[in-house]
């Protein structure tokens, strides 16, 4: 059962993970570190989130990672990520990685043999262009169709046509539906794969993962033991805690940073 976290009150789950020897704090970006915005490439972390992310990344035995469905190139743009950053990145739902001190790291996953991303883009563009408010987001392993500025009727119609296209020509590509977005990928990794990769790479004794969307539940469901899942906003979730919005994520990260700092003083 997911329960609400109350800012300003101590919480046993947060206290427990603050005490873990080697912590990875993994955050979805859109809707978690950043509010959802009409232009996906205009998304930026809330300043108060960025402040707490930097605090946590500076602590000993503590790693922060952004875990996103965005392609690595776009993820680095929206997170304002630099080559000397202490923040790890997992892009394309766990098919791409960037590690501090290492840089880009390959994933072991394989691509579907059905067509190419360029063929998918070429077939999808004429459909998407007919619908006001629908936008194509090219991705490293496929595409996303965004409808953040479209009406519900337009969203239903364009998604229906794209679904039919994918079923006919790319039937084995992975489909994901999220907040005002429909995605198709030639890679099968989900954010569950990202949790495993981050845990292994950093030797984490526990992971705190926070996310707001359906695709984030892939990660929530594989958290176990001393891990902690945090759902942002409404919806069914396997997370233990729930916060209302990215502003409350900033408060939760602040509480985590305060407690982890105090335990090490």
The pLDDT of residue 263 is above 90? no
pLDDT tens-digit readout, 53-70: 999 999 999 999 999 999
Per-residue pLDDT tens digits for 75-123: 999 999 999 999 999 999 999 999 999 999 977 666 666 789 999 999 9
92: left (phi over 0), alpha (psi -120 to 50) or beta: left
Contacts of 192 (CB under 8 A, 6+ apart): 94, 218, 219, 221, 222
Report the C-alpha gap between 56 and 145 in whole angstroms. 34
Euclidean distance between CA atoms 248 and 148, whole angstroms: 23
Q: What is the largest CA-CA distance in the chain?
A: 60
Non-local (6+) Cβ contacts of 51 within 8 A are 250
- Counting every residue written for the chain, the total comes to 265
Tokens of 114: 């059905």
Which residue's structure tokens are 């940073």? 257
DSSP assignment string, 160-194: HHHHHHHHHH-TTSEEEEETTEEEEES----HHHH
Structure tokens at 39: 């232009």
β partners of residue 168: none
* All residues at 6 or more sequence positions from 241 whose CB lies less than 8 Å from its CB, including other chains: 2, 3, 4, 5, 11, 13, 14, 228, 229, 230, 231, 252
Q: Give the whole-angstrom CA distance, residue 113 versus residue 122.
A: 17
Q: Calculate the average pLDDT of the chain.
A: 95
**Residue given tokens 């046993």 in the structure block:** 12
pLDDT interval class at 179 (50, 70, 90): confident
Percent of the chain surpassing pLDDT 90 = 92
pLDDT in tens, 111-165: 666 789 999 999 999 999 999 999 999 999 999 999 999 999 999 999 999 999 9
Measure the CA–CA gap between 257 and 59, rounded to whole angstroms.
8
Q: Could you read off the pLDDT of 232-255 as tens digits, one per residue? A: 999 999 999 999 999 999 999 999
CB 173 within 8 A of CB 185: yes
Ordered domains of the chain (ranges, CATH): 3-108+189-263 (3.40.50.1000), 117-185 (3.30.70)
Cα 208–chain centre separation: 13
What is the C-alpha to C-alpha distance for residues 165 and 175, in angstroms, rounded to an integer? Answer: 12
Q: Determine the pLDDT at residue 101.
A: 95
Residue 201 has pLDDT above 80, yes or no: yes
């Amino acid at each position: 059962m997911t329960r609400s976290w109350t800012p300003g009150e101590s919480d046993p789950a947060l206290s427990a993970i603050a005490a873990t020897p080697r912590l990875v704090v993994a955050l979805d970006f859109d809707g978690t570190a950043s509010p959802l915005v009409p232009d996906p490439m205009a998304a930026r972390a809330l300043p108060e989130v960025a402040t707490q992310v930097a605090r946590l990344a500076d602590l000993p035995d503590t790693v922060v990672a952004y875990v996103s469905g965005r392609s690595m190139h776009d993820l680095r743009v929206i997170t304002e990520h630099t080559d000397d950053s202490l923040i790890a990145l997992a892009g394309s739902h766990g098919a791409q990685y960037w590690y501090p001190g290492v840089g880009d790291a390959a994933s072991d996953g394989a691509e579907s043999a059905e067509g190419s991303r360029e063929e998918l883009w070429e077939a999808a563009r004429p459909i998407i262009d007919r619908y006001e408010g629908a936008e194509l987001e090219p991705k490293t392993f496929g595409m996303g169709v965004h409808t953040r500025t479209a009406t519900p009727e337009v969203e239903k119609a364009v998604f229906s046509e794209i679904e039919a296209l994918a079923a006919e020509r790319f039937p084995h590509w992975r489909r994901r539906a999220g907040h005002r977005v429909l995605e198709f990928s030639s890679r099968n990794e989900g954010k569950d794969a990202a949790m495993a990769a981050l845990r292994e790479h950093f030797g984490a004794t526990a992971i705190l993962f926070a996310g707001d969307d359906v695709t984030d539940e892939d990660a929530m469901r594989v958290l176990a033991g001393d891990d902690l899942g945090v759902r942002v906003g409404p919806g069914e979730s396997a997370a233990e805690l729930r916060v209302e919005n990215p502003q409350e994520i900033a408060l939760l990260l602040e509480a985590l940073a305060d407690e982890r700092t105090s335990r090490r003083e």
